[in-house]
Amino acid sequence: MNRLLKRQTITLILTASLMILLLLLFQASILIHRNIKSADKTLNLLSDQIVDVLKRSENLESVLTESHKDDYIIRAKTVSYIIEHNASAETDVEELRKIASIMKVDEIHLFDETGTIYGGTIEKYYGMNMDSGDQIAYFKPMLDNRNLAMCQDMTPNTAESKTMMYALVWREDQKGMIQIGLKPSRLMNELSSYSVDEMISTMPVVDGVSIHIENVMTRDSYRTKSDQADTTDSYPVTIKAWSRPFSSFSGNTPIRCLFRAFGRYNIGITYDMTAVNKGIVPSLVVMFIYLLISAGIITYILHIRNMTEERFRIQEQLAQEENERQLNVLKSMAATYHSMHLIDISSNTFESITSRADIDMYITGNNNAEDTIRTVTFNLVSGAYRELMMEFTDFSTLKDRLKNKKSDYIEFINYDNKWFRAGIITIEADADGYPERVMYVTRLIDAEKRREEALIHRSNTDDLTGCYNRRAFEEDIEGYSIIGIPNNFALLSMDVNGLKQTNDTLGHAAGDELLIGASQCMDRVFSSFSKVYRTGGDEFMAILAISPDRIPELIDQFKDRTANWSGSVVKELSVSVGYICSDEANELSMSIADIERIVDQRMYKDKAIFYKEHGIDRRAQ
């Protein structure tokens, strides 16, 4: 029995040891594979960075050259400004040299309008022109286009074979051109600081990585500083494409290598895997400890997961109950709505809670919510509101419009000219606040909209005459301050003559009859072209939309109608009129305030003529 127990114990120990050994070997292979992947990723990233460095090195030369060109053109313009405001400097070589010193330029040359040098800091160039050499001929286009300002790249001076950069600009008075020349030493210093050698030598490198770059055309080599082994000296110089990372040895040191060709450069990168793999042993120790405590950790994780799942299940149940409660509340309100449809946005399906025959006729068994709603909208909404409603029911924007919102509403007129209010109410939303189920409802609001319109009309209408009141006039005339005066615009100012005398002698009822008669005459003549407003006791205004050449004819018709009017108490009616048309207002660039003031002046002038013709003392009125 003891021998059997001992054998079982040994077997158990050996089995456990073998399992642990296998697991550790498996873990070690995983770590080595991971390290290789990590090293390959590092090699690829470094390769991309090196390519970016090489690209920048190639691009910086042109960028720096262009930036210096802009600087030199500005200096040339500054020199031109100084010379133009110091006329004596043109013929004073020493003064020009002082200006060159101040502006930190090496040469200044003055050209006349034909392109011939007549002055400057170097007298031996006097008399040269645009045909005197290849270098100066570069600027010949400026003779034909005086808006040009040009600057050369670094180029040998034709006369002396010295490397110079020249910038040429026209003087502001167009009487000639100013050229400056500079030895581009600063530019060449900056370019040298951005050379491949400088950029690569200062490039940060991961420990264990060595980089070697070779220019296959010049055979120049560039290498990062590294104490690690390097096998890049022998990489193939004919590589033209990516070469995958591969393993090799440098002596007894394992390395990963990557070679790449970019333009005229060959790139070689090595990674010492000794530094990368040194963490494997600690990881295996951790793995061993992990095997001993994994059972407890897994049990704890499973316990936490079960608790979390139960909490989520309870929350989902409560949310579902809340959604059902909200749905039941909406269903109980069905009698107040014209239609109610429950829409599942994710599946694009719908369920009719309540509906009407005019809607059901367009639901032909198709359970596609978006298509059905758009079909109903197109057929039942009036044309003026159809596009607006199509946007409102657009499923492609619905989720974003209702994010973290309970509802959205819009009002429209249907096919038989009745007002409705449509609403989309969020029933269920996801964790980010986007709706998943919504209720699409419509409600008939025609009666309340008609009452609202009636109240608005009443608030803008004069009770006695039925004309629009002063409030309506001020709102309408203010609109023209914003949009401007159209070509078919006229403003009339009208005043009932003798109203005070009628009120004093015949009573206010007679005065009211006089005002009503005047408004009726205005309506008969002007209603087809305008809106008429009572803006005061006996004061009226009219805004006409009519060609200016027809206004005198209308005024004559109005005068004839008032002259032939007779009421039951008051037998005569006279209205003074002043007006102005769009052609006059626009020609004189009048504001709305100017137009109102002028039409009132003209109306009072017409009233003065009336009083004079009838021998009435206006001061007694």
User: Between 179 and 368, whose confidence is greater?
Assistant: 179
**pLDDT score of 116:** 94
Residue 286 is encoded by which pair of tokens?
């951790």
Structure confidence at residue 306 as a pLDDT band (50, 70, 90):
low
Q: Which residues of 307-343 are buried (b: 16+ CB within 10 A; e: fewer)?
A: eeeeeeeeeeeeeeeeeeeebeebeeeeeebbbbbbb
Q: Kindly tell me if the per-residue pLDDT of 483 is higher than 80.
A: yes
Q: What is the DSSP string of 450-470?
A: HHHHHHHHHHTB-TTT-SEEH
Structure confidence at residue 238 as a pLDDT band (50, 70, 90):
very low
**Furthest-apart CA atoms within the chain: distance in Å:** 151
Q: How far apart are CA 62 and CA 153, in angstroms?
A: 10
464 within 8 A of 486, measured Cβ to Cβ: no
**pLDDT score of 229:** 43
525 within 8 A of 513, measured Cβ to Cβ: no
The phi-psi region of residue 566 (left if phi > 0; otherwise alpha if psi is between -120 and 50; otherwise beta) is beta
**pLDDT score of 6:** 62
Q: Kindly tell me if the per-residue pLDDT of 385 is higher than 70.
A: yes
Instruction: Give the residue carrying structure tokens 């290598």.
Output: 257
Q: How far apart are CA 122 and CA 97, in angstroms?
A: 9
User: Between 158 and 86, whose confidence is greater?
Assistant: 86
Residue 309 is encoded by which pair of tokens?
């799942």
Out of 135-144, 158-167, 580-589, least confident range: 158-167
User: Phi, psi at residue 406, to the nearest 5°?
Assistant: -80, -35
**pLDDT score of 175:** 87
Q: Quick one: DSSP state of residue 148?
A: -
610 within 8 A of 588, measured Cβ to Cβ: no
Instruction: Note the pLDDT tens digit of each residue in 506-557.
Output: 999 999 999 999 999 999 999 888 889 999 989 999 999 988 999 999 999 9
User: Between 299 and 165, whose confidence is greater?
Assistant: 165
Residue count of the chain, please give it: 621
Q: Kindly tell me if the per-residue pLDDT of 241 is higher than 60.
A: no
**pLDDT score of 200:** 65
Q: Once rounded to an integer, what is the mean pLDDT over residues 434-457?
A: 82
Q: How far apart are CA 378 and CA 372, in angstroms?
A: 10
Q: Which residues does 229 contact at the CB level (< 8 Å), separation at least 6?
A: 210, 250, 251, 253, 255, 270, 272
Does an H or E element contain 358, and which?
Answer: helix 357-360
Structure confidence at residue 185 as a pLDDT band (50, 70, 90):
low
- According to DSSP, the β-strands at 155-156 and 163-170 are antiparallel
- A 10 A CB-CB count for 447 gives 10
**pLDDT score of 393:** 85
Instruction: Note the pLDDT tens digit of each residue in 250-296.
Output: 767 788 888 877 777 788 878 777 766 777 777 777 777 877 766 45
Rounded to a whole number of angstroms, the distance between the first and last alpha carbons of the chain is 141
User: Phi, psi at residue 26, to the nearest 5°?
Assistant: -65, -45
Structure confidence at residue 3 as a pLDDT band (50, 70, 90):
low
Structure confidence at residue 365 as a pLDDT band (50, 70, 90):
low
Structure confidence at residue 467 as a pLDDT band (50, 70, 90):
very high
Q: How far apart are CA 152 and CA 165, in angstroms?
A: 6
- Positive or negative, the Cα torsion across 389, 394, 398, 400? negative
Using alpha carbons only, how large is the chain's radius of gyration in Å? 47
- Positive or negative, the Cα torsion across 61, 66, 68, 72? positive
**pLDDT score of 605:** 94
Q: Kindly tell me if the per-residue pLDDT of 492 is higher than 80.
A: yes
User: Phi, psi at residue 145, to the nearest 5°?
Assistant: -135, 105
**pLDDT score of 368:** 83
Q: Which residues does 548 contact at the CB level (< 8 Å), separation at least 6?
A: 488, 490, 581, 582, 583, 584
Q: Which residues does 532 contact at the CB level (< 8 Å), separation at least 6?
A: 467, 468, 519, 522, 523, 526, 540, 541, 542
